Amino acid sequence: MNPDPVPLNGARFRSEPAELYRELRREHGAVASVLLDGDIPAWLVLGYRELHQVTGDPVLFSRDSALWNQWDHIPDDWPLLPVIGRGQPSILYTVGERHRERAAMVSDALEGVGPFELRAHAERFADELIDAVCAKGAADLVADYATLLPVRVLATLFGFADEQGPGLVAALNDMINGREDAIAGQLHVAASMARLVADRAARPADDVVSRMLAMTLSGHSQHSHGGAGSGGFTHEEITQDLMVMMAAGHQPTADWIGNSLRLMLTDERFAASLFGGRRSVAEAMNEVLWEDTPTQNVAGRWASRDTRLGGRTVHTGDLLLLGLQAANHDPQVRTHGSALTGGNSAHFSFGHGEHRCPFPAQEIAEVIARTAIEVVLDRLPDIDLAVPAESLTRRPSPWLRGLTELPVRFTPAPALGGAPA
């Protein structure tokens, strides 16, 4: 007898997801039956090998959400619509050659970001955020810092004015968390992106949006696969792709910053980094991608025909959720818990296959996160956690694993300009 489906929400996803994934694996095997909001059924892929199979076969396990056999049961105000997608002409739900063309356009536009320019933007915004709290002797490194930084850097790279950053932060968080404000957040981000695309179409500049528009007008990128279908993307398609890039680049990076700082503040192995060292920063960041990855679960893939996966029968149109964190902890792959951390990057935290996070986007996220951590260590050298480590809590999201707050204390210091913040 198959075990009952498990609701994909609740306190245990916030407090002890690793133990929950172990229980699911024991009771369900490598593929677990779960329920989304409104008791909508789906499969959660927990096994490393099974996840590799799903992400490596884009024909059998398609990214085309139109295949879903549950659309008749999904209301227009379903809070997970921004996560699942319906009728969205974005790169997430495009398949085949068209997807490869769009992925090439996105990669080329991001490759145009210079590494020195990127780090300079990240340092500038990080310093501004630290300036706002450094004289107080205390701060919440989530609310005051991590959740404000990545989107400000990305917005600048895209072409937004600085003052638009805070509104985009709030809207993106609402959209990604998949709760009651998700639809409103999605609408705000979409409207902001559409205005930016229209403005850059009329007045190009040296930014990501202008490069995407230029490539679609020329009908090719340096990685284009050619063919009659190359290029020719509409403003709506570019707007949707920018929304994906912003959402995928902001909140997971913010959580990467927060989770890495938490690890460094609570684990004695990384204590040296808090007192002037630097070597452990990269090690802490990589360990987080294995042990506490910001992107826990991803929606999704849809079966294009009946098949078997992990001993379960998956029917045509069934939704499969990618359990990235569960796969990273698969005991069949990780026979010793610490053996695959350190310099090993065979984790699923950036996905796998055709729809994995583009390499230039990974590099941008890593530079932003590492710069953010290093600025904290430089500016607040005697930083310490202000609450017991066990009291730290996580946001109520089955998709992303990030802290609700990270209270710290430190010796008050003047802002960089010399005046109190």
pLDDT value for 328? 87
pLDDT value for 163? 81
Residue 70, φ and ψ in degrees, nearest 5: -110, 5
pLDDT value for 205? 93
Mean pLDDT of residues grouped by 10 in the chain (421 residues)?
Answer: 79 75 91 92 95 93 91 89 69 68 84 93 96 96 94 92 82 72 85 94 94 74 39 82 87 94 88 60 89 88 96 97 89 61 64 72 93 94 93 84 95 74 42
- Nearest CA to 5 out of 50, 45, 40 is that of 40
Q: Is the pTM of this model over 0.75?
A: yes
> What whole-number distance in Å separates Cα of residue 261 and Cα of residue 253?
12
pLDDT value for 273? 57
pLDDT value for 355? 63
- Other CB atoms within 10 A of residue 335 CB: 9
Angle at Cα 20 formed by Cα 318 and Cα 270, nearest 5°?
A: 120
pLDDT value for 233? 80
- Nearest CA to 254 out of 409, 404, 112 is that of 404
Domains defined for the chain, CATH in brackets: 6-409 (1.10.630.10)
- Judge whether 139 and 408 are in contact, CB under 8 Å: yes
pLDDT value for 59? 92
How do 307-309 and 312-314 pair as beta strands? Answer: antiparallel
pLDDT value for 222? 46
